[in-house]
């Protein structure tokens, strides 16, 4: 079962920096413009280490690592002396206007090879190819986990262990109004209860499949160099959270389709088509009510796509799987885009011939897929809010 251990964190000293000026979103959701804006906020903003610029040359990872070490030497970063878990809570108002708080525990999660007997740290969806050199080179240079992966535990009752609030170590508010709160958890009884709960059930990598793969490659390197001796490199920084309805916000990742004018005809073979009018946020709610996807043309007009009886027998109960099945064997290209405004902008800008809006995956669909040992198609889920990079770092040496 998953090994999940407390660890001594490295954190910004809140007396030396403005925390809201030094944290940032995960590296893989930052555009070049975003990175520049965060870098300008503060010379100690985490992007100066976590997102080295290609223009800085081949030694950019060494320079990032030197900056990280200098922040430690200067006291901008401080290292806790004893292992602990760190409660991470996010408080926000959801799209229905309801106040929400979701929470999990940051700790060190064991890095396990896919073919290891008894491996219970599993992917929940297929991944798209991505070069690993950048993250691996950065890990080698800094010898640190700079941002956590996000893991969903099938253990019942973990919410209860991550719900009680304590004294905050850090509190920051992001541009979406989400309040991110970090707390120190070192009570021996609670630490043991968290350790045992996570070990009691399989866990799914929700966000950070690529970083988990990099952690695995780094572990192999370090093990080989150390004569297979165990070390901190056997683990990676992870937020572990119970897979529970009130603890997740899962949004859809839509599809942009290119490659021809026959998309409506191809999709009509598998779906009943009806007019949806001009696409707006209300369209997304109507899709859920109808049990439909929605095809969007460059002029912003929509058509509801309702699965035909029998068209998807044997296909997973997921919009992403249905669309993949409907387009199988055709020459169309498919790319991924989160957010309705971004989809419409891509269409009007000529970035695709059509778009297909999907419904969000439900928690029950995630749970069912996990119990079946299956994988969702790539980019089936978008977990929100996004964790902030910079609240906690972890050494891997």
- Domains in the chain with CATH codes: 4-249+384-395 (no CATH), 253-359 (3.30.1760)
Predicted pLDDT of residue 69: 98
Closest CA to 326 of 296, 344, 352, 305: 305
Per the prediction, the chain carries an average pLDDT of 93
Query: What mean pLDDT do residues 29-45 have?
Result: 96
Report the residue count for the chain: 397
Percent of the chain with pLDDT over 70: 98
Euclidean distance between CA atoms 59 and 52, whole angstroms:
10
Binned at pLDDT 50, 70 and 90, residue 121 comes out as confident
Euclidean distance between CA atoms 210 and 212, whole angstroms:
5
Euclidean distance between CA atoms 276 and 284, whole angstroms:
10
Peptide bond into 348 cis (omega under 30): no
In degrees, rounded to 5, the angle at the alpha carbon of residue 237 between the alpha carbons of residues 87 and 22 is 75
Predicted pLDDT of residue 211: 93
Euclidean distance between CA atoms 374 and 254, whole angstroms:
21
Query: What mean pLDDT do residues 35-45 have?
Result: 98
Condensed to tens digits (0 to 9), the pLDDT of residues 312-364 reads: 999 999 999 999 999 999 989 999 999 999 999 999 999 899 999 999 999 88
Torsion 135-140-146-148 (CA) sign: positive
Closest CA to 355 of 274, 282, 253: 253
8 Å CB contact between 10 and 79 = yes
Checking if the pLDDT of 1 tops 90, the result is no
3-state helix, strand, coil in the chain (%, to 5): 35, 30, 40
Closest CA to 340 of 249, 207, 276, 251: 251
Predicted pLDDT of residue 129: 60
Predicted pLDDT of residue 131: 57
- Residue 356 neighbours by CB under 8 Å, 6+ apart: 254, 255, 257, 267, 293, 294, 295, 296, 305, 323
Checking if the pLDDT of 119 tops 70, the result is yes
């Amino acid at each position: 079962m998953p090994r999940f251990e407390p660890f001594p964190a490295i954190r910004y000293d809140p007396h030396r920096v403005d925390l809201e000026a030094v944290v940032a979103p995960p590296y893989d959701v930052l555009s070049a413009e975003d990175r520049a804006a965060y870098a300008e906020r503060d010379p100690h903003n985490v992007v100066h280490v976590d997102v080295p610029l290609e223009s800085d040359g081949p030694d950019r990872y060494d320079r990032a690592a030197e900056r990280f070490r200098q922040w430690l030497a200067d006291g901008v970063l401080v290292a806790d002396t004893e292992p602990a878990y760190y409660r991470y809570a996010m408080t926000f108002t959801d799209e229905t206007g309801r106040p929400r708080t979701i929470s999990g525990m940051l700790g060190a999660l064991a890095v396990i090879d896919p073919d290891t007997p008894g491996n219970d740290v599993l992917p929940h969806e297929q991944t798209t190819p991505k070069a690993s050199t950048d993250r691996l080179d950065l890990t080698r240079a800094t010898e640190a986990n700079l941002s956590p992966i996000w893991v969903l535990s099938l253990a019942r009752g973990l919410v209860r262990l991550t719900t009680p609030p304590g004294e905050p170590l850090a509190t920051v508010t992001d541009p979406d109004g989400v309040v991110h709160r970090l707390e120190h958890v070192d009570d021996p009884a609670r630490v043991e209860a968290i350790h045992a709960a996570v070990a009691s059930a399989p866990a799914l990598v929700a966000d950070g499949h690529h970083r988990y793969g990099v952690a695995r490659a780094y572990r192999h390197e370090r093990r080989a160099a150390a004569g297979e001796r165990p070390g901190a490199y056997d683990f990676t920084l992870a937020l572990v959270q119970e897979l529970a309805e009130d603890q997740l916000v899962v949004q859809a990742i839509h599809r942009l389709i290119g490659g021809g004018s026959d998309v409506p005809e191809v999709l009509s073979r598998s779906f009943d088509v009806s007019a949806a009018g001009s696409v707006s946020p209300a369209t997304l709610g109507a899709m859920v009510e109808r049990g439909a996807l929605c095809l969007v043309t460059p002029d912003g007009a929509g058509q509801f796509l309702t699965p035909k009886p029998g068209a998807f027998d044997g296909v997973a109960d997921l919009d992403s799987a249905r669309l993949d099945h409907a387009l199988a064997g055709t020459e169309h290209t498919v790319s991924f885009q989160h957010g309705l405004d971004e989809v419409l902008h891509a269409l009007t800008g000529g970035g695709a011939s059509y778009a297909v809006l999907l419904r969000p995956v439900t928690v029950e669909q995630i749970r069912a897929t996990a119990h079946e040992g299956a994988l969702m198609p790539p980019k089936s889920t978008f977990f929100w809010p996004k964790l902030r990079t910079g609240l906690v770092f972890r050494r891997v040496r």
